[in-house]
């Protein structure tokens, strides 16, 4: 009589692997931490930061008063070429193109990211309540509180989103290099114009850049996770 064989042990199912922290997610976390530090320093009016802001702003304002032609050129770039509404129009065009090509989730993601950026900057302006530079001989004017720079943040968000979309759709090589160069010049250029025209402190612009990059990185990371889950 044969003895019964013991039942084969069932393999213990391994737990599902954790999703790796992607480069965009890590970037968002690092930039978010830097943004929080900068907001705190601005809010408490840390003296070295205030001194830096005033020194740079005063030097650039003297140049703006002495060079009216260059100042007018900066106003054209600030008020038209790199104006937040120009930037939002570019995002809208990109979203329409995606929608027509049936990438509707991505189109809505891009529009939502741009809208969140606008809401975030206005909320921070109200919360921080930083005064703009004040000059006896101003060359330009602006409304609302200073921190963060809405122009700088909107440019960073828009250019970041557009670069992401271009990369997703296969743009590379020399064309990609030109796109990156145009985006970098736009983001840096609008920041310079806002300081040069005397309507923002340098750290307002830096804060806008940091928040813009953080928002784009978070949007990319979250979209990757959603797209991955939908693919499963």
**Global confidence as pTM:** 0.90
* Whole-number pLDDT of residue 10: 54
Does the pLDDT value for residue 12 go beyond 80?
no
* Whole-number pLDDT of residue 16: 45
Non-local CB neighbours of 176 within 8 Å, separated by 6+ positions: 166, 167
Tokens matching residue 1: 């009589």
Q: Given pLDDT bands bounded at 50, 70 and 90, which one contains residue 5?
A: low
Q: Given pLDDT bands bounded at 50, 70 and 90, which one contains residue 17?
A: very low
Q: Given pLDDT bands bounded at 50, 70 and 90, which one contains residue 146?
A: very high
Q: How far is 49 from 231, CA to CA, in rounded Å?
A: 47
| pLDDT over 90 percentage in the chain | 88
* Whole-number pLDDT of residue 155: 98
Angle of CA points 22, 24, 27, to nearest 5°? 110
* Whole-number pLDDT of residue 11: 53
Does the pLDDT value for residue 221 go beyond 50?
yes
Q: Given pLDDT bands bounded at 50, 70 and 90, which one contains residue 216?
A: very high
Does the pLDDT value for residue 125 go beyond 80?
yes
Q: Given pLDDT bands bounded at 50, 70 and 90, which one contains residue 232?
A: low
Which tens digit of pLDDT belongs to each residue from 66-122? 999 999 999 999 999 999 999 999 999 999 999 999 999 999 999 999 999 999 999
DSSP state of 200: S
Does the pLDDT value for residue 4 go beyond 60?
no
DSSP state of 33: H
Q: How far is 9 from 26, CA to CA, in rounded Å?
A: 41
* Whole-number pLDDT of residue 55: 98
């Amino acid at each position: 009589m044969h003895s019964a064989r013991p039942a084969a042990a069932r393999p213990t199912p391994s737990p599902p692997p954790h999703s790796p922290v992607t480069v965009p997610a890590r970037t968002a976390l690092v930039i978010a931490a830097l943004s929080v530090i900068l907001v705190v320093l601005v809010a408490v009016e840390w003296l070295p930061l205030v001194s830096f802001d005033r020194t740079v702003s005063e030097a650039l304002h003297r140049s703006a008063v002495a060079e009216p032609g260059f100042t007018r050129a900066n106003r054209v770039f600030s008020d038209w070429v790199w104006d937040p509404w120009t930037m939002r129009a570019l995002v809208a065009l990109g979203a329409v193109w995606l929608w027509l090509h049936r990438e509707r989730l991505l189109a809505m993601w891009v529009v939502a990211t741009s809208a969140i950026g606008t809401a975030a900057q206005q909320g921070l302006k109200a919360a921080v309540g930083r005064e703009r530079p004040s000059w006896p001989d101003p060359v330009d004017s602006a409304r609302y509180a200073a921190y963060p720079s809405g122009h700088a943040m909107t440019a960073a968000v828009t250019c970041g989103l557009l670069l992401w979309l271009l990369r997703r759709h296969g743009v590379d090589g020399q064309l990609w290099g030109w796109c990156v160069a145009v985006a970098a010049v736009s983001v840096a250029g609008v920041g310079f114009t806002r300081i040069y025209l005397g309507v923002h402190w340098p750290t307002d612009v830096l804060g806008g850049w940091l928040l813009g990059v953080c928002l784009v990185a978070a949007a990319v990371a979250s979209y990757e996770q959603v797209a991955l889950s939908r693919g499963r």
